Structure 1
Amino acid sequence: MNKDQAYHQIALACLKTLRESNAGESKDAAQELYDTIDQAFQGQFALVLAELEDSKQRLNLINQLDPQRHSIADAQAIINANGTAH
């Protein structure tokens, strides 16, 4: 996921909260928006952590390849394997 996608998801969550909040109570609406931003940010951060863990596992697999038995194509196959759910 790139930065633009993450920002877009957070912005959509904020817009939804603004549409659904009670405009008459601005303090509560502001807190609701802050909570939404926090929750959306945590969700995006979790995706980044998942991608980081996936990359770490792939690098470990590549590191374990025996140069006498494996080629660069084997490393590329590990890199290009579909493994992330997002």
Structure 2
Amino acid sequence: MRHVILPACASFVLLFGACSNGKATESECAQFAAHFEKLMSGGAGAAEADKTTQLAKDMAKDLQAKCLSEGTSAEVRCALAAESMEALQRCGDPK
């Protein structure tokens, strides 16, 4: 169940581009990808830790690329402030 929800959560983060505060920088997107990876891996139990960590790394690469092409600084700031995957998903909710 976790693996189905997480891609959906991740995709929400960068889907709202209406409120732009300037294009996200490469540094911001790298920070976002690392933060996403940390949040996603943090809740895994011991049995799922390796699979979840690898999935998070794979998804983080794609998110960083999407961030660079479509993300804004405001979206990245919201994502970096998120302390859970649920909070991260709210960054993509329409305002």
Provide the TM-score with structure 1 as the length reference: 0.41
Higher helix proportion? 1
Provide the TM-score with structure 2 as the length reference: 0.38
